[in-house]
Structure 1
């Protein structure tokens, strides 16, 4: 069979193939392989936004805060928790950007462990996570304990065990590594951290909506994730924070604002935090920014995260086969674990020519992601990506390498 025939057979047999048409396409794109950076909008989102402008914003005006908007960060947070995180109600809230929520929860974690001074993190984590930890260390005097994961892998429990101690306040780590796609053994690392009295903060930006999460079952303490990747909330959509129920009475985040106060509309002198997960909020929530993700949550709930994960593994496995068949002769380097149990929903391939090649791919409607110094990252969003898109994308990379090998 040709690669085209193989891709067609996989698409025909795909039990989730019927949902691909529920996403907006166009713009001359032949293969969209960057859904783990920005997911496609669902087709129903345009109507949801129009109805909101006409009926809620235009019709209800300021009354909307009393009728729905004030509690939307909590109600939508509960949906995210139930549909994608394995989290019981009352522990997830939609709030600020990923960066701001990470800052809040790192500082809150240090406050929950005032007798400890160290944060464990890895040099393979997303830059924002690292930069935040560095800045907080400057602010608080905390000490950073660095892990250097392999380029084609990620952090393991053994690596954490080498640096953890009774001085560790927090282990800050991504569940799926943003570059390599390495999938963390979260239960093992959480168990290890708790044995030493430390807290765990998971960055689930590349996990939520793509792999199965069980934050409650894994006994995770804190988590933050974005909503514009696999939750398809749109560019700049607000992020979410998870705080385990056992910490809610005592957690104190450092950015005190009126929406996180016990009586937001009391306008009283002196800050008193709200009970429960609302205390993680600060300023007025981005109501418009929360609307699109609700449509994707409907779709995820309809098909189930378990089925999405099966499709994700199938997509990345097909991509790996094509990389081996079509790109290996050009001496590319796979920078992602081959074992599907150790990788999330994307993979990265490295070659010195990829920085130059990527803009030409974009020009031709093939949209992967470039990750320095030499990586093309293929983000395969399971509900909107077809196997034929994977085929088209990797064949286009091969054609570029044949013409521009270095």
Structure 2
């Protein structure tokens, strides 16, 4: 069974807006109240998926959730007509676009039963994200419904916050080989919350039936969280045997590197020194929230947002690394500015699943022709602009719900209409 890495990108939903709901996410806080462009946002995301396909990567997608989330409002004994503006903003959030938070994934070579395990994230720290998991779980159970090859699990109890793959890394000499799974959790973050709880990850490691000797729990540094690294993937990313990280990413870097060196054949650590790229530049540019991928020819590429090229310290470091024949041999730049303005870079938009593509429901896999059809629906039905003050407007709500329905119909996924 061939195992390849599939990037499942979240299609940016028609309710994409800048309500500033994510405390600790500096970009989201900075742009609170700005006018969003959902149509441009979704087309940017589709263009990123298309560029990944052009690189020879296997590409999948997840769909936007029902917005507003009427079921969640009902649980709160209200509805779209009577909910407060704050509750309605939470119910309208397009945050499921950031598929890196959808689940934690352990590929088959790492698990005791030889299946790929996925645990949906509870995302309990932020109200606007806490109601995502039921709809995410519904998609995961469709996309990975082949129980011979996959095990899809419900969320860790919400007493322990779980933010999914944005805080999880896997280091391995190849996708087919057993990997070292690194679970990065937070302890404190100064003024900002540490979102990932170590007990959530310990529970996931147990339910995924991982080998304890190849499972590592590492603390994120407090200074990284305080600087705005609300998820580990804002300051570190792994691919194959390579760990690419900022100097200030981890609380105990020496212990982490010692374990990786012992357990991962060919392990290579690529560090960006704070003296060359300050933590503030790394976070604002989302250098580490790029997609670190292996191309069909075997070379490693980093897919970064336009902001990385526009940040002098970041771009200078990348050019020096490329000239020095380092682990990253190619840098690709993508425009995801609408997502970036809400605090989500290229890596935030995708969930990595290493598996045999033939075992995945084909409705969740895309090629250029399918992306063309999706882009046509977006261009015709996604709102062009949304002001935060308009989130409760009935005409906007109708347009958002109708746009999603059109996309579900196109992709033959109308069974997800209600969640």
TM-score range, shorter chain: under 0.3
Normalised by the length of structure 1, the TM-score is 0.27
The structure richer in helix per residue is 1
**What's the TM-score once normalised by structure 2's chain length?**
0.27
